[in-house]
Structure 1
């Protein structure tokens, strides 16, 4: 087994490594400035490896926008484990001094209908999902309970329509196994763990097992290509809280891949899928390529500085450039799905765009779920059922297609393996000090209460009339 942190084999061109790393954003989380705000810099590096380091400083005035800018920590760690069922494989020698771990983080996949309401509660209890001012922190769990109870019946209908559960957990496990195998091809024996944000196996459980297994080096890889407060940011908040409280993690070298939507092989993999699906249409050149991304509230971008929209637009531009290089010049459009409540979300909205395209005379539409690497309810029910029905009933669209998610596509898994190998040498030891456990918003309390009331009312009404 190659010593972690050693130079890559000469056969692997440093120029190629530099190029790959330049397409991967790693986070440097240096801590909090004198005002208590999070000093977060996300940048592309031109060097062969990039390092990320956690340093926390105590602060009495932690702004919510700062907290939400934490990154999704998807840990790719190599280590031993025997009991944690989120761990996919374990084959590291007990005699090995270096235990490297890979932890894949994702949102969570419900396996039965009984999991729906707890999943909804965990989602809405997350301060990065419902962002309350300090004055109303005590309402967080109460609101989560209220909303989850009202949304439970409608959500169960959606999961029942796709077989009573989500395949996301199973697919993530398969991705972990596939990743382990390609890492072995690079002579790196790795234990791969899966940590979910809102359901079993939880991220906290994975980190507990990492500690139990005495992992000595950790790489974190999110299964979200683009960074967002509500996905990557929420997961890294969990990591922050654990690091602050546990000496083991303060001494554990960690490398976190913040986003990877620019990686060449990822872009090529997406272009391959789109090209293959276009060939199914009788007139491929007339098909509108319709990118549908998971939406986030507009305030995340405009008020909290979420880079999600910019990264999504850049990602799609790169995919379309790759298609054009292959002689494919189809028109395309981006829209955002899955909005909840009456507040403004990123626009344009997927359902509204589908209707408008039909009115404009578009006859063939190819949906591309660009935010996701695993099939789940937003692809199988929302896109495949709701949006397909809407498109075909809109009076204009006659031909519908949908690009599958990347899943365990060999080129995609190989790219994840490259990302892990590149990030591993930059794992660095964290430096922690005490810090507040919850964040505070900059918004004024009274206006925010009014907005909160209408948001909750809108959520309840949306469920009641659906």
Structure 2
């Protein structure tokens, strides 16, 4: 029997500092998030970050928390329910990479319903070590340890799927069609530059400059930077936007190592100082609104923009639990049922 598992990032159980600390420990101790030796990662996370950051992060979560819980969890549950309504001949479950429900719990729910073949959909449009890869790695670990007879297929990064680009473009168009704006900023979650080079399967293509992301290369299959820039390019072309009024940036950097640039906060500040008065921000690395979109962009980004002379700051919602997004996911599931869906062929770096 077949089943489906949707996997999103996750969220703390509550806005209490202790719950945020537990969540951050699981998240930041992941070797694909902070990719340094365990002893150094433990020193950085448990010796420094967890002694200072949970209180500040808890305050940030309090600003965006809904009455019925974490926005990311609530919206993901709504999405799962809608996909399940569309797919009535197989079970659809939800899991989080960090926090609850865990990937193990999600898989067990399916196995308890006699499922022996799963399509796992990481809800990340672009591939990165700290997103799609860590979801696949954890699912493989759980399968090998607890469910060795289970077969799992994985949906690859879908940033380049025409159906996804059309839907993303449609959602953006709905927000800007009657809006007067000066510029659109496509802000993606940041990753350290070393992650890009680590996942260069050619070992010599990625240079982190203005050229390599647009040169044809098989390295693009696992290159987060390329996939972000390509997403922006595809949307701009689909909507017929003025490319000179659109740009790409990266947010949420951590530590002192170089991360992908330009940085979103500095870009927003620069735009305001340069005379841009009406800025639109879209966050295509996320399919679900969360702390990074609702607080870091919609609140902190707006404050930066207005403090430096900006006047109108518009953040476009993620796809969240839109009916057409649930329908698209359901279509991919149906394609998988009939062996028409391309799934992840190589499970690389799953040590």
Aligned to 2:7: 105
Identify the match of residue 160 of structure 2 among 262, 269, 273. 262
Identify the match of residue 124 of structure 1 among 24, 28, 33. 28
Q: Are 1:180 and 2:84 an aligned pair?
A: yes
Q: Are 1:351 and 2:265 an aligned pair?
A: yes
Pairs aligned (count): 317
Aligned to 2:247: 333
Aligned to 1:228: 128
Aligned to 1:398: 311
Q: How does 1:370-385 map to 2 (within 5 A)?
A: 370-385=284-299
Aligned to 2:184, the other structure's residue is in SS state: strand
Q: How does 1:75-114 map to 2 (within 5 A)?
A: 99-114=1-16
Post-superposition Cα deviations, 1:266-303, rounded to whole Å, max 9, x if no partner, equal: 2122212222222343xx3x531111111111110023
Taking the aligned partners of 1:176 and 1:294, their CA distance within structure 2 comes to: 24
Taking the aligned partners of 1:148 and 1:322, their CA distance within structure 2 comes to: 43
Q: In 2, are the aligned partners of 1:298 and 1:344 still within 8 Å (CA)? A: yes
Aligned to 2:261, the other structure's residue is in SS state: coil
Taking the aligned partners of 1:417 and 1:318, their CA distance within structure 2 comes to: 23
Q: In 1, are the aligned partners of 2:136 and 2:154 still within 8 Å (CA)? A: no
Aligned to 1:388: 302
Aligned to 1:206, the other structure's residue is in SS state: helix
Aligned to 2:45: 144
Q: Are 1:161 and 2:63 an aligned pair?
A: yes
Q: How does 1:166-245 map to 2 (within 5 A)?
A: 166-184=70-88, 189-245=89-145
Q: How does 1:403-414 map to 2 (within 5 A)?
A: 403-414=316-327
Taking the aligned partners of 1:363 and 1:288, their CA distance within structure 2 comes to: 9
Q: Are 1:419 and 2:321 an aligned pair?
A: no
RMSD of aligned Cα (Å): 2.2
Q: Give the 3 Å change call, closer, same or farther, for CA 222–199 of structure 1 in structure 2.
A: same
Identify the match of residue 317 of structure 1 among 218, 224, 233. 233
Per-residue deviation at 1:171?
A: 0.7
Q: In 2, are the aligned partners of 1:278 and 1:287 still within 8 Å (CA)? A: no
Q: In 2, are the aligned partners of 1:104 and 1:192 still within 8 Å (CA)? A: yes
Aligned to 1:50: none
Per-residue deviation at 1:218?
A: 1.0
Taking the aligned partners of 2:333 and 2:267, their CA distance within structure 1 comes to: 37
Taking structure 2 as the reference length, what is the TM-score of the superposition? 0.84
Identify the match of residue 302 of structure 1 among 177, 185, 197. 197
Q: Which has the higher contact order (CA 8 A, sep 6+)?
A: 1
Taking the aligned partners of 1:419 and 1:341, their CA distance within structure 2 comes to: 38
